[in-house]
A and B are shown apart, each in its own frame.
Chain A
Amino acid sequence: MSLLGVIALNVLFLLAGSGILWAVRGWATWREYLALGGIAYVCGLSAVGVIATLSLIWGLGLSPGVIIAVAGGIAVLGALVGWRLGRSLPVRTETWMPTSLADLVPIGLAVLTAALLASFFREARIQPLTSWDAWGFWMPKAKAIYYFGGLDPQYFEHLWGPSYPLFVPALAAMNFHFMGSADTTTLGVQWWLLAVAFVWAGAGLLRRIAPAVPTWVFLALFVVIPELDRHLTERKADWPLDIFFALSACALLAWILTGENWHLAVYGLTLSATLLTKREGQLLAVCLVAAGIAAAGLRSKRSWLAVAGVALLAYLPAIPWRIWWTSRHLQSDTPAGGLLHATFANIRQAPAAFHLVARLLFEYHLWLAATPVALVGAALCLWQGDRRIAVFFLVAFGLGFVGWAWENWAYVSPSLPISTNPSVNPTNRTVASLVLLSIVAAPVLIGQLLAQRAPSEVAVLDREKTTGSASASATNP
């Protein structure tokens, strides 16, 4: 029963997201829908999750009726917009079989990735809730929403992290409502579905900008990252934050390379979810905006309007939450004297902070080595004709690296020392954002290097330069 509830809720996310995708892009065949379904799911999850947090702030609660109304409303609205824009109905796919022998390698890698995820499911389905932060405050908040119908002051004022955003507690509470009980064990499946969503949506976003083989090699690498297995099902906000951020980065990069505006909707929705998942989302959003503008053109009004404008819209849903907790005088966890003061007062800790971030980020037994591969690829791509991919990745990565180091030294205290011990310092979790950024960027960077041999293989990258348009790539069907 509990598992069915999780599945039903996630089908609703897919339905809502399909409406969004239909409105902003549409799909020509059902095969194309299969390729883009992950993007639809992530858009639906982000949109429903964001509205759910607003619903809590407005005191509407998260009953199944509210959730169905929100998801159904988004789906219907999307369908109406798509109809108004004249989207044609998808036609039957002529064949579901591979069209060439070259397709067999990526299909094999996709099947391998699916097998890995299926194996992971067996663990995620029964993994009990044992992580301190999860049972200490993330899940009590979710249970309080479920049992008491909303933001019960007794819990939201005294649990740790009262100013933390609500996306994860709201997502968990929605699952509890559909399960019919606060079954935190089965809730692990929701976190597993986020990993599936990363793979499915990542493949959908990369299909136009990277060759299929590197794409699936890196998506399979994501599933075998040791830290993913160790920590995904802890039911904390770290992995959702990293997944939303990386998909947002991927959508923005896809927009920069293809110029197709529907990517901006994906970028905006996932960025909004990033901002509402953890306060660190603000730091990551700054990284993306700066990287996007640097890559799309500092002097281009269009890039400012699209990248910064959409980010500003994505931030709007975070404002009611800020008003809610500040108006109730809930404790913020900013350092004493404010962030600016702490930044300079603790500056002597900066070298140790940089060392910590570097050490944890490049630890092979935690993350494998997707990040060094992406960095080398980016360095080489700086010497290519088109530097946009390398600039985007290096600016986002560099700012993120400095940002995580800054967070370490600005917030340093006896209870939060600069340490590799994960029970007192969160850096071994926060650097995952940069690892996932590397995983979505590496196939594009490698694709650009490989395209030197046969430009047609990465059609979008070169065709766009010559014709100004971005039609379908032949490499990642």
Chain B
Amino acid sequence: MHLRLPSTFAVVAGSVLLAAAALMLVVRLPAAFHSFSSGAAAAAGRSGLDGALATADAVGLNDDFVVAAFADIPKTARFAVVLPPDLPKAESADSVNPITFEAASPFFENFLLPRRIADRPARGVYIVCFECKSPYWDKRTHWLSPENGGGLIGLVYR
């Protein structure tokens, strides 16, 4: 036996569903236009260095540090991101968000392309040092920029 809805009921139900969808659209429209406009306004001027500065803000990296990395490391060079050996200690001592440490390596690896990431910071490799400054690196590195928000760019020379 094949049960069927009365045709009037089906038509009414279809009309109600269509009306509900249309109402949803009408109610949402002003907010949607506003959202697109405010999104465009918020994005304006944030695409510096192909969005690197906006992302740096989001993960807590200093803008001048990022600008220095772009300026000081040649496009054909190799670089390594160097972080402090004891991250939890550095987080509490220097008030750094763990997200910032987690983001630093992939952030520079992406945004600094075509500069290639090096396996290790050997001689001739640039280092993107974030909260890593220590006598060990001072003896081996020619620092190329002043410290910006805990970040330094250097070239390892021995």
Contacts and interface: CB of A to CB of B under 8 A. Distances in A.
B13 A373 contact: no
A380 B31 CA distance: 32
Contact of B36 (A120, A129, A376): A120
Contacts of A377: 13-14, 17
B136 interface: no
Interface string B78-102: 0000000000000000000000000
Contacts of A129: 50-51, 54-55
Contacts of A116: 29, 32-33, 36
B117 A154 contact: yes
Given A130-B58, A182-B113, A370 B43 contact: no
A385 B13 CA distance: 16
A123 B21 contact: no
Interface string A214-242: 10011011011010010000000000000
Given A127-B43, A147-B114, A449 B50 contact: no
B21 A217 contact: yes
Interface string A162-186: 0000000000000000000011110
A128 interface: yes
Interface residues of B, number: 48
Interface string A440-476: 0010001111101100000000000000000000000
Interface in A104-147: 112, 116, 119-120, 122-123, 126-130, 132, 135-137, 139-140, 143-144, 147
B107 to A, nearest CB: 7
B20 A369 contact: yes
B20 A126 contact: no
B62 interface: no
B7 A453 contact: yes
B32 A144 contact: no
A256 interface: no
Contact of A135 (B17, B47, B53, B55): B55
Contacts of A369: 20, 24
Determine the main DSSP class of A at the interface with B: helix
Determine the main DSSP class of B at the interface with A: helix
Contact of B113 (A120, A136, A143): A143
A221 B50 CA distance: 32
Contact of B11 (A144, A229, A385, A450): A450
Nearest to A372: B20
Contacts of B51: 128-130, 135, 184-185
Given A123-B36, A224-B28, A136 B17 contact: no
A450 B15 CA distance: 7
A196 interface: no
B114 A128 contact: no
A139 B110 contact: yes
Interface string B27-43: 01101110111011001
A287 interface: no
Contacts of A160: 106
Contacts of B44: 126
B77 interface: no
Contacts of B47: 126-128, 185
Contacts of A370: 21, 24
Nearest to B56: A130
A213 B21 CA distance: 11
Contacts of B35: 226, 229
Contacts of A119: 32-33, 36-37
A132 B32 contact: no
A96 interface: no
A452 B24 contact: no
Contacts of B21: 214, 217-218, 221, 370, 373, 442, 446
A214 B22 CA distance: 9
A135 B18 contact: no
B1 interface: no
Contact of A132 (B4, B10, B25, B103): B103
Q: With a 10 A CB-CB cut-off, give which of A135, A226, A373 has the most chain B CB atoms.
A: A135
B140 interface: no
A111 to B, nearest CB: 13
A41 B62 CA distance: 42
Q: With a 10 A CB-CB cut-off, give which of B11, B37, B50 has the most chain A CB atoms.
A: B50
23 contacts: A116-B36, A123-B37, A126-B46, A128-B51, A129-B50, A129-B55, A143-B113, A217-B18, A217-B25, A220-B25, A221-B21, A229-B32, A229-B39, A368-B28, A373-B21, A380-B10, A380-B13, A383-B3, A383-B5, A385-B2, A446-B18, A452-B8, A452-B10
Given A127-B47, A229-B32, 13 more contacts: A116-B36, A126-B47, A127-B43, A128-B46, A185-B51, A221-B24, A224-B28, A229-B39, A369-B20, A373-B17, A373-B20, A380-B14, A452-B7
Interface of A: 112, 116, 119-120, 122-123, 126-130, 132, 135-137, 139-140, 143-144, 147-148, 154, 160, 182-185, 213-214, 217-218, 220-221, 223-224, 226, 229, 368-370, 373, 376-377, 380, 383-385, 442, 446-450, 452-453
